[in-house]
Amino acid sequence: MRRSLAGGAPDSGTDMVEALISLALVALFSLVAWATGANPDGLVWGGIGLSAVGFAYGIPTAIVYHWLLYRALVDADRLPARWWLAPTSHHGLVPREQRRRIYLWGAIGGTGFLVIVLGILLTSVGLWQLLV
């Protein structure tokens, strides 16, 4: 049985999520600190660039996640009709040995979405500063 990075209790799969949350908070605080001193043009272009980065890796990783989920459910003969409408609700149907790999791709794709949202927020702040 694999141990968590902190030692002690067995890894429950939350180490990666906690690390991503911590990284996201550091990035958010850094962006806020940068945004307060940046000029509006820099915020707009920085936000557009950040959103582009989020799209560039978020969409491909989301495709991989959905493909792996689909294949796992088909291979286990557990694919529900219209599964793509709420794919996370079917995680319980994924065989245990495939879950970690699928969840990892889902988490990476989810961070792409967060990067896109942060980019949109930066762009919005820059546009607001230009208008006010």
| Angstrom distances, CA of residue 11 to CA of 3, 4, 6, 21, 89 | 5, 4, 9, 17, 22
Domain boundaries, the chain: 14-131
What pLDDT, in 10s, does the model give residues 54-98?
A: 999 999 999 999 999 999 999 999 999 999 899 999 999 999 999
Distance separating alpha carbons of residues 101 and 68, to the nearest angstrom = 8
Distance separating alpha carbons of residues 95 and 69, to the nearest angstrom = 10
More confident residue, 15 or 84: 84
Count of alpha carbons within 13 angstroms of residue 17, beta-carbon side: 8
pLDDT exceeds cutoff 90 at 29: no
Give the CA angle between residues 60, 53, 42 to the nearest 5°.
Answer: 165
In this prediction the pTM is: 0.70
